[in-house]
Amino acid sequence: MDIHSSNYICWPWDIDMWGELNNGRALSLFDLGRYGFLSRFGLMRYFFREKISNAVAGVSVRYRHRIRPFSRIEMRTRIIYFDDKFLYYEQLMMLSDGRCAVQSLCRLAITQHGKLLPFPKACEKMGIHPPPVECPLWVKKWIEAESERPWPPELAM
């Protein structure tokens, strides 16, 4: 449940037409932060050995400050909550002046052979025993709001 910190630079090819970090690139950087997190805690070897994968099952991103070319970014990644089905990661992109530029809440599903692998079962396979965590109220409300969202989306009909 520790915080993983990794550092990045916003390169010119990471920017959009407005001269700031592209939204899609921000999501890619969040992916890299999660991979770093998994590697740091030695979980990647289990993923490869057990043929376990993870898939983003939802994400909410809050953008507050522009990230300009050549800005240095410290990304902070942590598991904020987990339930029987999903892991919930909180990730922050911090600017060098200490301001949080971007925050994300990401729900990840762990899969094996293309099927959902319940989180407790995945932990058992990897021989890890995470401590119980209380769901922060804002995360709980996000989970509840997501459960109310229609699927398939009405626009697809």
Strand 4-9 relative to strand 86-95, pairing? unpaired
If we measure between CA atoms, which residue out of 31, 61, 60 comes closest to residue 143? 60
Question: What's the longest Cα–Cα distance across the chain?
Answer: 47
30, part of any domain: yes
Which range of residues forms the domain containing residue 122?
Answer: 4-148
> How far from 115 is each of 54, 134, 143, CA to CA, in Å?
10, 27, 21
If one counts the domains in the chain, the total is 1
Confirm if 58 and 107 have CB atoms less than 8 A apart: yes
pLDDT at 114: 87
13, part of any domain: yes
> H-helix or E-strand containing 3?
none
Q: What is the CATH number of the domain that holds 115?
A: 3.10.129.10
> How far from 155 is each of 28, 57, 132, 142, 152, CA to CA, in Å?
26, 19, 39, 22, 8
The set of residues, in sequence order, having a beta carbon less than 8 Å from that of 88 and lying 6+ positions away, is 79, 80, 81, 82, 105, 106, 107, 108, 139, 143
Residue segments in the chain with a per-residue pLDDT below the cut of 70 = 1, 157
Q: How many whole angstroms separate alpha carbon 75 and alpha carbon 100?
A: 10
The whole-model pTM stands at 0.90
pLDDT at 1: 67
157, part of any domain: no
155, part of any domain: no
pLDDT one-digit tens code per residue, 58-72? 999 999 999 999 999
CB count within 10 Å of CB 125 equals 15
pLDDT at 94: 98
